[in-house]
């Protein structure tokens, strides 16, 4: 069994000394504390793996110490010790977050066996985190080139480590969910849940239950107790998409939950503290909605402490190539293939010149579709939607027509200038020699439409 850093919290000196000796002989590092206050100070260092804690202490209970530890965000494992075994005490300890409980007098063999189990669980947890980091590091990353997106990335880097609320605005498909994910992944909450909720998709009559939970029987159809989103995402990030669609009565309740950090389930008799970061998003103008009375001004100001406004893709065409590359790499990563997806020149030209009214979401959908249809990892026009090809041909034809008109205009202007030189600078004579009117000659020199009749 690997070495663990243990803290024995026990007010009886003899029991404390015996447990510490047994654990030290087993190869563990052991500290001791005789009361809650001393244990709190020792746990604050953050290097204790397991706490062996008596239920009853001179200045409080072991359950209180456990709850304080969890509230501080520490991941120390607690094993509770009690001299008065009962179903109630066991349930209380486990509900508070204890790994297990032991009955006094503690049998040393049983204690060492429990510690070996704890070490195995911690090892699996650490391995799982390492694997998640490896998978995360292996995923492709989109590197934007536009100044607007670089400014947004710098803002994300500054705001993510804080607990401030963030409001993300922008047209549909611009990548608001991606920004919300980035805020979560770059924060201290990254190892806790990220939950995205479309506020427009929840029926009005179910909103309060979905957000704050309910007790069984609180209303017709409440056949079970629900935790609610705020409790489910404890210590994580709750992303409220389409926040503008919340009805006013729910906006009031949401504002109180954010400010008070308290939620009360429907039918519940008490409130519960929650530690949740709120990130909201909308494709509507909330300030205009506030002016019309459709959105609470105080909630708007509470949400928009930091506002991230994402411009549509048509305003940052320099990002198109980076987004295409990212989408191709993402498809390669998702399919677990070593052979990269590529675009032939014609397909690439179509994608680069499309105006992308559906923004980033449309681009990603087009690339995902092409990667499914392609047979040899080289995407051609055949794998692109026909509508994109038709638009590209129409744009090219219009560009070619404009280019031809410009070339003809320049040739006519040169002929006219040569005629003027041949006439010794006499423009009227030059117009007569060309068989056009004087106003027509001026028009062809300046590029304006004019009379071409003699």
Is the full-model pTM beyond 0.75? no
Element (H, E) at 63: helix 62-71
* CATH architecture for segment(s) 315-384: Orthogonal Bundle (1.10)
Q: Which pLDDT score, from 0 to 100, does residue 64 have? A: 87
Distance CA 119, CA 111 (A): 12
* CATH architecture for segment(s) 401-446: Orthogonal Bundle (1.10)
Q: Which pLDDT score, from 0 to 100, does residue 180 have? A: 93
Contacts of 351 (CB under 8 A, 6+ apart): 320, 324, 343, 363, 366, 384, 388
Q: Using 50, 70 and 90 to split pLDDT, how confident is the model at 69?
A: confident
Q: Which pLDDT score, from 0 to 100, does residue 452 have? A: 40
Please determine, looking at this structure, whether the domain spanning 5-134 carries the CATH number 3.40.50.2300: yes
Task: Indicate the CATH number of 147-311 among 3.30.70.60, 3.30.70.141, 1.10.1520.10, 3.40.50.300.
Answer: 3.40.50.300
Q: Which pLDDT score, from 0 to 100, does residue 405 have? A: 67
More confident position, 417 or 369: 369
- Asked whether residue 329 carries a pLDDT value surpassing 70, the answer given is yes
By CB neighbour count within 10 A (0-12 exposed, 13-18 middle, 19+ buried), where does 349 fall? middle
Q: pLDDT tens for residues 153-203?
A: 999 999 999 999 999 999 999 989 989 999 998 998 988 999 999 999 998
Highest mean pLDDT of the ranges 115-119, 129-133, 139-143, 199-203: 199-203
Element (H, E) at 347: helix 345-353
Q: Which pLDDT score, from 0 to 100, does residue 287 have? A: 94
Q: Which of 286, 230, 239 is nearest to 260 (CA)?
A: 230
Distance CA 165, CA 301 (A): 10
Pairing status of strand 277-282 against strand 378-379: unpaired
Q: Do domains 5-134 and 147-311 have the same CATH topology?
A: yes
Q: Give domain limits for the chain.
A: 5-134, 147-311, 315-384, 401-446
Distance CA 288, CA 310 (A): 18
Q: What percent of the chain has pLDDT over 70?
A: 88
Q: Using 50, 70 and 90 to split pLDDT, how confident is the model at 438?
A: confident
Lowest-confidence segment of 99-108, 223-232, 409-418 by average pLDDT = 409-418
What's the mean pLDDT in 337-360? 90
What's the mean pLDDT in 236-259? 95
3-state DSSP call for residue 1?
coil
Sign of the C-alpha dihedral computed for residues 252, 258, 259 and 264 taken in this order: positive
Q: Using 50, 70 and 90 to split pLDDT, how confident is the model at 99?
A: confident
């Amino acid at each position: 069994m690997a070495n663990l850093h243990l803290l024995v919290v026990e007010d009886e000196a003899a029991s404390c000394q015996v447990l510490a000796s047994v654990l030290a002989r087993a190869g563990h590092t052991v500290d001791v504390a005789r009361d809650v206050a001393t244990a709190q100070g020792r746990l604050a260092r953050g290097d204790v793996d397991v706490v062996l804690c008596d239920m009853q202490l001179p200045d409080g209970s072991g359950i209180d110490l456990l709850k304080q530890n969890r509230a501080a965000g520490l991941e120390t494992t607690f094993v509770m010790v009690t001299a008065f075994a009962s179903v109630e005490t066991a349930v209380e300890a486990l509900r508070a977050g204890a790994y297990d409980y032991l009955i006094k007098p503690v049998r040393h063999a049983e204690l060492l066996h429990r510690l070996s189990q704890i070490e195995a669980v911690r090892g699996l947890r650490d391995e799982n985190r390492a694997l998640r980091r490896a998978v995360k590091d292996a995923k492709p990353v989109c590197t934007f080139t536009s100044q607007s997106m670089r400014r947004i990335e710098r803002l994300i880097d500054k705001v993510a480590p804080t607990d401030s609320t963030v409001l993300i605005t922008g047209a549909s498909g611009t990548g608001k969910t991606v920004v919300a994910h980035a805020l979560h992944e770059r924060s201290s909450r990254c190892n806790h849940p990220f939950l995205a909720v479309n506020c427009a998709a929840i029926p009005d009559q179910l909103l309060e239950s979905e957000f704050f939970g309910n007790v069984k029987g609180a209303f017709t159809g409440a056949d079970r107790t629900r935790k609610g989103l705020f409790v489910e995402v404890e210590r994580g990030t709750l992303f409220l998409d389409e926040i503008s669609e919340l009805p006013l009565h729910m906006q009031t309740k949401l504002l109180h939950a954010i400010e008070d950090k308290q939620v009360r389930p429907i039918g519940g008799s008490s409130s519960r503290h929650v530690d949740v970061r709120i990130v909201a998003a909308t494709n509507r103008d909330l300030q205009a909605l506030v002016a019309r009375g459709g959105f609470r001004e105080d909630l708007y100001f509470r949400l928009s402490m930091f506002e991230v406004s994402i411009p549509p893709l048509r305003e940052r065409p320099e990002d198109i190539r980076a987004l295409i590359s990212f989408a191709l790499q993402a498809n390669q990563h998702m399919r677990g293939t070593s052979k990269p997806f590529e675009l032939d020149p014609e397909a690439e030209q179509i994608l680069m010149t499309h105006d992308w009214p559906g923004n980033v979401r449309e681009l990603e959908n087009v690339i995902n579709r092409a990667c499914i249809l392609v047979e040899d990892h080289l995407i051609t026009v055949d794998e692109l939607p026909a509508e994109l090809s038709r638009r590209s041909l129409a744009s090219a034809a219009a560009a070619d027509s404009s280019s031809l008109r410009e070339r003809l205009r320049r040739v006519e202007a040169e002929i006219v200038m040569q005629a003027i030189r041949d006439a010794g600078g006499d423009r009227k004579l030059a117009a007569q020699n060309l068989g056009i009117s004087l106003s027509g000659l001026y028009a062809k020199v300046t590029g304006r439409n004019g009379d071409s009749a003699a």
